[in-house]
Structure 1
């Protein structure tokens, strides 16, 4: 659908007619004006194995794109095995919490970081996910939020030490 059609109908729609916002987005998922170059969107509804999900989400976190990482986790949450859904949902909440923190929404960011930490705590670290480290990272970041943070600098490691100070990205 072209921009004129979008403006006339008031809603962007995908090929199946479902409402979709086609506005470009920045690296933190914020909508930009139509016609502005944005960051390529994460495709929706992609099935990935658990290890593939972790690798793709880590790539996006390292790039300072936690909103996009949340979409990868959301795909796993919606399409993965039932016994893993709460893990992926919690990881999506951690990514959205970091997104809000990077946007300067410290209260919302802290709330989502803590909710995500609580949700992943019962898991024993499938796919090498460092659940205790991620939980510690989320709680520490939530405790120190006073303003916007740099998403790439604050990005956790999903496997190995989750604290960005404990392991360099690279």
Structure 2
């Protein structure tokens, strides 16, 4: 593929066709990557939670963020902040796993703040309170990573994956 030419989707919109790794980083053309999440999929809330949890457990938070983004864009207005906040937390975990501690911590906290209004309702059985605690605790830890000279530690995305539903069960 001519890398100077812009990739386009079927509708002619710019869309990067480069393969991606499990954390969503682009790989060189021709390199095997992980299967990308299709965009614009309308799922039920339970399907969204189940698919996102599967991807989080597999250490693929970037891909989980895309599932949450679909829900955010296609769901009811009253739930947009819930799905947006969950997407931000998934991207925060992605950045933390890539070694971007400042960006990871910022997005984890932003996502936690976005879902705060849903703490009592626990929509679709999502344990919002524990997710907020997880995001804030992880944000504090990844910020501490960057404090020492040459300290560029990353987190293991699969090991740090949050549980969306209390008790560790999926939808």
Is TM (by shorter chain) over 0.5? yes
2:80 is matched with 85
2:32 is matched with 37
Give the one of 31, 49, 52 matched to 2:44.
Answer: 49
Q: Which has the higher contact order (CA 8 A, sep 6+)?
A: 2
Structure 1: 5+ residue runs without aligned partners?
162-166
Give the one of 144, 154, 159 matched to 1:153.
Answer: 159
2:97 is matched with 102
2:62 is matched with 67
SS of corresponding position for 2:86:
helix
SS of corresponding position for 2:87:
helix
Work out the CA distance in 2 between the residues paired with 1:100 and 1:125. 26
- TM-score by structure 2 length? 0.90
Structure 1 residues 124-144: Cα deviation after superposition (integer angstroms, max 9, x where no partner): 211110000000000000011
SS of corresponding position for 2:166:
coil
1:164 is matched with none
How has the CA–CA distance of structure 1 residues 89 and 38 changed in structure 2, closer, same or farther, with 3 Å as cutoff? same
**How far off is 1:68 after superposition?**
0.1
Displacement over 3 Å in runs of 4+: none
| 1:138 is the counterpart of 2:135 | yes
**Aligned residue-pair number:** 159
How has the CA–CA distance of structure 1 residues 46 and 168 changed in structure 2, closer, same or farther, with 3 Å as cutoff? closer
Work out the CA distance in 2 between the residues paired with 1:125 and 1:26. 32
**How far off is 1:78 after superposition?**
0.2
Structure 2: 5+ residue runs without aligned partners?
146-152
- TM-score by structure 1 length? 0.91
**How far off is 1:168 after superposition?**
9.6
RMSD: 1.4
